[in-house]
Structure 1
Amino acid sequence: MHTINVCLLAGLLLTGAATTAQSGKPTATLNIGDPAPSIQVKKWFKGQPVTSFEKGKIYVVEFWATWCQPCIAGMPHLSELAEKYKKEVTVAGISILERKTTTLAHIGAFIDSMGKKMNYAVAAEDSNFMAANWLRASGERGIPMAYVVDRNGRIAWAGLPKLLDNVLPKVIDGSWDIKATDAARKEAARLTEIDNSIIPVLNSYMGNPGKPDSALIVINQLLAKDPGLKYYPRMAHYTIYSLLKTDQEKALIYIRELLKAVPEPPFRSVTDAISYMSEIRKVTLIKGLYEIAAVAYEEQLERYPWSMDFPATYDNIAALQFKAGNQEKAVAAETRAIEYAKKKPGFPADKLAAFESSLQQYSSKTN
């Protein structure tokens, strides 16, 4: 018996997202091409303090917090970039949005514990200045978040730190197009607002079995007006569920395109939808769908390990591979599920026994 964590109705998956959509993102008053706001911090813990943006120099201002697991996971990569471009770029990581109980001493101890994994200038914000005048002012809510300040002191780019590899070389050699970047960012904000607004519209077509054909008609109407919406998270969610119920081959093609089209695909929508169809609705799917769901699970393990249940996820991967007829991959995944389960303190004996039973099944039969 493998573990599946899915919602019974597709629409329910977006209940939390609907709340976010209603509240909306902060209105952006800081845009690409604008002069960078000043830096105000309470304390510099490491590296050369950045007190102003000197003309002719390039800076990366990155925001993080001690509680932010994605921030921590990205620190070694940011350190690599700081080293690689140290002659041209100054990197400054600034702690913001810390919990009220987090002291400067706690932040300092965390920075010390990171050592060379956090090998750039590091500071903690003073009051709420950096969060308000950088993050909120640019229309953002979450961290990690990075800003590139060009040689003229302008905001040249803003986004996830992991995407800096594609930005810094062009800012350094002067080929970065600030106007195009600003236009693209504003268009993305417009499409995000529309993407959030489709939740109440398309939720009415979800369910078991729902009205997937009608949902696809509405989706096509929306895309005719705004083709750029095709791979946005909410649109992708509804498209996947609707296609899985109407045309599995088209669903597989769309999911493959989706995983290639955006830097951070909605992997959870892929895995939840395929698990829902397979485990809840008991629909037999084509081989490629089981396999691509396994890939989506593996991507989540690789990209977001802090949020994943490794034993359960490998157990899910094993079940998918077995249904796809890939016995060796199923055995390998279930073996890993058992290994992680045995290393996890307090792991339930009955779940471990279920994993071992599945391994025996996968080892002795072909699908």
Structure 2
Amino acid sequence: MKHKLLLLLLVCTISAKINAQPLFNIGLNIGDSAPPLKVKAWVKGKPIQKFEKGKIYVIDFWATWCIPCMALMPHFSKLAHKYQDKATFLSIDIYEKEIIPIAKIKKLVDSMANRMDFTIGIEENKLMTKTWADPSKLEGIPSIFIINDGKIDWIGHPKYADSVLTQILNKTWRPGLALIKRNDQLYLKHLEYVSAAELTAKIDRYKINMAGNTYDRVMISPDSVLLVINEMVRNVPSLKFLPVFVSSTFRSLLQTNPQKAYDFAREVMATHTYYDEPIYLSLVYYIEENSDSLKLPENIYRLGAECCQAWIDSDPYPEFGLTLSSYKRMANLYRHAGDLQKAAEAERKAKDFSLINQKLLNQ
């Protein structure tokens, strides 16, 4: 009875918080007029004072401390060359540490040579952050804005810019649909924000005043976790595929019913990506986490290996991503599955990829 009361209170508390949230302000978005450029220094290329009517601009936001930003610069340069007669490419340094002098940023840019072969500027007094990044609710940098005739046509990760730009130039891009998709993603992120903290904290150890003024710590079993999640998803179906709910569901099912965990993971892999990012490696993490404490069946380890391969296949920039570590994890998962041949194949691919990766980075 005590546990039922506990779970009922947990469900009601979290559901009430979700449903009580007002519609949040999305801010700067696809279809809006592009804010003005606020640049204190141009350290490479032809300075751009304003967006000209009828032209397309591709803006990359980055910072010197952002390793993924720097890793993707050569690819941004290739795009700039590919579309040099059809669009103007520029990269604006935002979120920069105030103590970094302009000369140091310029020195870094110069050291990159043709790997940063486009116009590069440094924001003025955080104004680009305040008028572009913060209002548009960027997930982080690197991030791309595509401006078409003074309007924002797209906001997203650099790895999708080539495909989007091709559609814009071919007149097949539909910014209205892109806006709907982005708003949906932002809404899901909002739902996760208002529910994840309570779910993760209270699912592990939920305190409730059961008698007097003292708190009774109650450990919630995996079955109880699933009961909470199922009730919440029944009330708000959009929660089902949010990362924290996927992780908690998969982890609990691994501990209670590995076959259901397998089926659920298949559903996740087949039907959903979150924020354009597959959740494959999260599934792998929970398989690895439970590999020593639980006697997992062979098909779970094979599933984990497939997740590694799916991640590798989905990564447009493998030399800068998690491909090498994914091959190594794949090998270990196949070993757990008892498939030594495939484990050896994965190790061979990891070794080959490491050599290729080193050559690419040294170019």
TM superposition score normalised by structure 2: 0.74
How many Å separate the matches in 2 of 1:249 and 1:173? 46
- Alignment match, 1:56: 54
Partner amino acid, structure 2, of 1:274: I
- Alignment match, 2:338: 325
Following superposition, the deviation at residue 317 of structure 1 comes to: 4.0
Aligned counterparts, 1:177-326, within 5 A: 177-199=174-196, 200-201=198-199, 203-206=201-204, 210-259=220-269, 261-262=272-273, 263-279=276-292, 281=293, 283-296=294-307, 299=311, 316-326=329-339
Checking the alignment, whether the CA contact within 8 Å between 1:206 and 1:212 is kept in structure 2 is no
How many Å separate the matches in 2 of 1:337 and 1:276? 22
Following superposition, the deviation at residue 80 of structure 1 comes to: 2.2
Partner amino acid, structure 1, of 2:189: T
- Alignment match, 1:351: none
How many Å separate the matches in 1 of 2:35 and 2:143? 15
Following superposition, the deviation at residue 37 of structure 1 comes to: 0.4
Checking the alignment, whether the CA contact within 8 Å between 1:148 and 1:155 is kept in structure 2 is yes
How many Å separate the matches in 1 of 2:189 and 2:169? 30
Larger relative contact order (C-alpha < 8 A, sep ≥ 6)? 1
Checking the alignment, whether the CA contact within 8 Å between 2:200 and 2:244 is kept in structure 1 is no
- Alignment match, 2:16: none
- Alignment RMSD (CA, Å): 3.4
How many Å separate the matches in 2 of 1:180 and 1:206? 39
- CA displacement 1:244-289 (0-9 Å, x = unmatched): 223323323333443453232234422321122212x2x1222232
2:148 aligned with 1:150, yes or no? Answer: yes
How many Å separate the matches in 2 of 1:164 and 1:258? 26
Structure 2, unaligned runs of 5 or more:
1-23, 206-217, 355-363
How many Å separate the matches in 2 of 1:229 and 1:244? 20
Of the three residues 6, 24, 39, the one matched with 1:41 is 39
- Alignment match, 1:361: none
Aligned partner of residue 261 in structure 2, secondary structure: helix
Q: Give aligned-pair identity as a percent.
A: 34
Of the three residues 170, 174, 188, the one matched with 1:173 is 170
Following superposition, the deviation at residue 160 of structure 1 comes to: 0.9
Assess, with a 3 A threshold, how the Cα gap between structure 1 residues 221 and 163 changes in structure 2: closer, same or farther.
farther
Assess, with a 3 A threshold, how the Cα gap between structure 1 residues 60 and 122 changes in structure 2: closer, same or farther.
same
